[in-house]
Amino acid sequence: MTRTPTGRPAGARRRMTLKEAERFITLLAEAHPNAESELDFVDDYTLLVAVALSAQATDASVNRATKGLFRDAPTPAAMVALGEEAVGTHIRTIGLWRTKARNVVALSQALLDRHGGQVPHDRAALEALPGVGRKTANVVMNVAFGDSTMAVDTHIFRIGNRTGLAPGKTPRAVEDQLVARIPAPMLRPAHHWLILHGRYVCKARRPECWRCPATEPCQYTGKVLIAP
Ligand code: SF4
């Protein structure tokens, strides 16, 4: 556990004000002007599958697995025809691959049965698909349909709490705070700015505050301002 010089556990000094929250997001936006998803996909369907596979896995590992998977099965019908066992051989390097192989085939069948093989632009319909939870639905709605949703992954949950941007005990609580506190026009891209910031700068074990663009509004008491 990181501690402050007084020996206290490091954490957010307080919740950011709305002005500070806007400043924080603006500084991340300037640092990542071309931010977008790091998952490889070619359409709404391959996006949905890639996001469903990415739970507890890195985007790089998912991209390695989906290269062959999407070549063999680029559509829901082709995925169902490929079958669970063959899907499993493609994604065996990803965590929870057995469950994910079953879900990918089942969600493909559900898309054919309920939505004419299309990815629905509807939260409830997305969350009713096998293996699709709120986070996956939020990413698909954000990236595929341009909705102002906020998918809270491990990086965004950490940043929300560590910096005081959006403190909350659960991913849903952090999501609600972010949606309420980030100016509406910035909300959709903010998802990508926050993920990239958490992945490459505000890292889990030791945030690299010495090269962070947003130290000023950040309320973290354990900032590491000198590079080791
Ligand atoms: S890297 Fe450091 S200064 Fe930047 S947001 Fe994270 S904790 Fe705050």
126: closest CA among 61, 44, 56, 191?
A: 44
User: Can you give the C-alpha Rg of the chain in angstroms?
Assistant: 19
- 135 counts as catalytic: yes
What's the pLDDT tens digit per position in 127-146?
999 999 999 999 999 999 99
Q: The whole model's pTM is what?
A: 0.89
- pLDDT tops 80 at residue 3: no
Of 168, 141, 162, the closest CA to residue 218 belongs to: 162
CATH 3.40.50.280 fits 44-143, yes or no: no
Q: Is 33's pLDDT higher than 90?
A: no
The tens digit of pLDDT for each residue in 174-203 reads: 999 999 999 988 999 999 999 999 999 999
Numbered residues of the known binding site for [4Fe-4S] cluster: 202, 209, 212, 218
- Could you tell me the distance, in angstroms and rounded to a whole number, from the CA of residue 143 to the centre of ligand 1? 26
Considering 43, 100, 153, 223, which one is annotated as catalytic?
Answer: 153
21, burial (CB in 10 Å: exposed 0-12, middle 13-18, buried 19+): buried
Ligand 1 centre from 57 Cα, in Å? Answer: 24
- What Cα–Cα distance (Å) separates residue 15 from each residue in 21, 126, 163, 181? 9, 33, 8, 11
Nearest alpha carbon to residue 37 among 191, 203, 201, 197 = 191
Tally of CA atoms within 13 A in the half-sphere of 160 that contains its CB: 28
From the candidates 19, 59, 135, 169, give the one annotated as an active-site residue: 135
Q: Which residues are near ligand 1 (CB < 6 Å)? A: 162-163, 201-202, 207-209, 212, 214-215, 218, 220, 223
Q: What ranges do the domains of the chain cover?
A: 44-143
Query: Using one digit for the tens of pLDDT, what is the confidence trace for 93-124?
Result: 999 999 999 999 999 999 999 999 999 999 99
Q: State the pLDDT at residue 9.
A: 76
Q: Is 153 annotated in the active site?
A: yes
